[in-house]
């Protein structure tokens, strides 16, 4: 059996969970059926007349784009407009459309991580945590012998993260009491009697977007009929996920040399610098896409230079006045490196399922054409 659109979305959820997307964004299935079988998958940044034409020529039956085709509420669809023509064509040819935008920006090994990887940046954390990474303290009580089962869940699901350490938890032994009523079926103890049993209290941190999954997994392995779990919000966030990244380069570069390196990596001449070209830089912040609004986050974290796209004039002036150098690259170029990563991800997903899936990276170009 072929892979379905639903399975593609489920795989994406393991990499770039929908809950990581910003509130204003629109990600996930944009058009089509979850039950549709997919034999040829196309990946690209945008649905454009050019990428749609390629999809038709190559008989692609599902497209995964980075930027959503539907951003805001659509009040009408007219066949005479480009959006209307695209919808009509996709529907007639039964081509499903999926978007993974700011959820992929905030994901581990997402847009900014891939850009940092190209520069060999040793990433420390995100510039701005996603709202869904707010940390919650989970407390659960397990009978002796079940502690390792819970610890395995933490490691597997990526919970219990503290800085560079994962699977962190704290356990204390104690005595619990319970009185099972007639209809109860206790794992230990007797019905109609106050029972005292020894057990272990376990505590660990979980980001909000993983909360439901981790709780469900604990309930799967827990032997109690009524699983004791308490959840408490904290003021902390899991900075493994979020917009942008900050870290250090393996070597110092001058600002000009770093700009040149980016020009080569991204195959772009649309590179602009703010700052002294001779300044030596090593501590770098970056954000794929339009990240001009986050220059203050970069500054507060000690960045010497901030790499992003679509920096506004007044942002450049303020960064300049406050001693933060900038390298502005094209929006298209700053995100283009994620497309091969998307193709690789879906190929691994198909291989793990033992299914054949043809994957094509559609050809795209920056809509802005430099004169020189």
Which segments are annotated as binding site for a divalent metal cation?
66-67, 105, 331, 335
CA gap 316, 295 in Å, rounded: 9
Report which secondary-structure segment, H or E, holds 96. Answer: strand 96-99
Are 91 and 61 in contact by the 8 Å Cβ rule? The answer is no
Are 227 and 217 in contact by the 8 Å Cβ rule? The answer is no
CA distances from 144 to 64, 170, 217, 223, 230 (A): 46, 14, 18, 11, 19
Report which secondary-structure segment, H or E, holds 363. Answer: none
- 3-state secondary structure at position 156: helix
Phi (first) and psi of residue 336, to 5 degrees = -65, -25
Tokens encoding 279: 């300044």
> CA dihedral defined by 114, 331, 361, 242, rounded to 10 degrees?
40
Residues at the binding site are 66-67, 105, 331, 335
CA gap 257, 260 in Å, rounded: 5
Query: What Rg value do the Cα atoms of the chain yield, rounded?
Result: 25
Are 279 and 261 in contact by the 8 Å Cβ rule? The answer is no
- 3-state secondary structure at position 38: strand
Are 249 and 115 in contact by the 8 Å Cβ rule? The answer is no
CA dihedral (54, 55, 56, 58) positive or negative: positive
Report which secondary-structure segment, H or E, holds 361. Answer: strand 358-361
């Amino acid at each position: 059996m072929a892979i379905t659109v639903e399975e593609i979305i489920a795989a994406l959820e393991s990499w770039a969970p929908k809950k990581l997307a910003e509130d204003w964004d629109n990600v996930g299935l944009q058009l089509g059926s979850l039950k549709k079988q997919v034999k040829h998958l196309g990946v690209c940044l945008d649905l454009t007349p050019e990428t749609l034409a390629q999809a038709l020529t190559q008989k692609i039956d599902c497209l995964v784009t980075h930027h959503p085709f539907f951003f805001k509420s659509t009040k009408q669809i007219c066949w005479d407009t480009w959006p209307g023509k695209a919808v009509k064509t996709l529907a007639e040819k039964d081509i499903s459309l999926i978007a993974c935008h700011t959820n992929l920006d905030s994901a581990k090994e997402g847009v900014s991580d891939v850009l940092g990887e190209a520069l060999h940046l040793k990433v420390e954390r995100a510039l701005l945590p996603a709202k869904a990474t707010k940390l919650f303290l989970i407390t659960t009580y397990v009978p002796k012998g079940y502690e390792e089962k819970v610890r395995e869940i933490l490691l597997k699901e990526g919970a219990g993260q503290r800085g560079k350490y994962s699977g962190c938890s704290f356990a204390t032994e104690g005595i619990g009491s319970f009185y099972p009523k007639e209809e109860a079926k206790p794992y230990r103890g007797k019905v109609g009697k106050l029972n005292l049993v020894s057990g272990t209290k376990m505590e660990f941190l979980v980001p909000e977007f993983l909360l439901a999954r981790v709780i469900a997994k604990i309930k799967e392995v827990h032997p109690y009929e009524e699983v004791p779990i308490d959840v408490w919000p904290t003021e902390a966030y899991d900075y493994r996920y979020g917009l942008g990244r900050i870290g250090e380069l393996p070597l110092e570069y001058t600002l000009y040399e770093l700009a040149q390196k980016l020009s080569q990596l991204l195959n772009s001449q649309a590179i602009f610098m703010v700052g002294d070209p001779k300044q030596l830089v090593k501590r770098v912040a970056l954000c794929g896409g339009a990240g001009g609004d986050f220059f203050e986050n970069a500054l507060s974290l000690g960045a010497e230079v901030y790499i992003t796209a679509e920096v506004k004039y007044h942002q450049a002036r303020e960064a300049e006045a406050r001693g933060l150098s900038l390298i502005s690259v094209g929006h298209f170029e700053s995100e283009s490196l994620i497309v091969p990563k998307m193709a690789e991800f879906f190929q691994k997903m198909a291989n793990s399922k033992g299914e054949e899936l043809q994957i094509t990276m559609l050809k795209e170009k920056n809509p802005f054409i430099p004169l020189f």
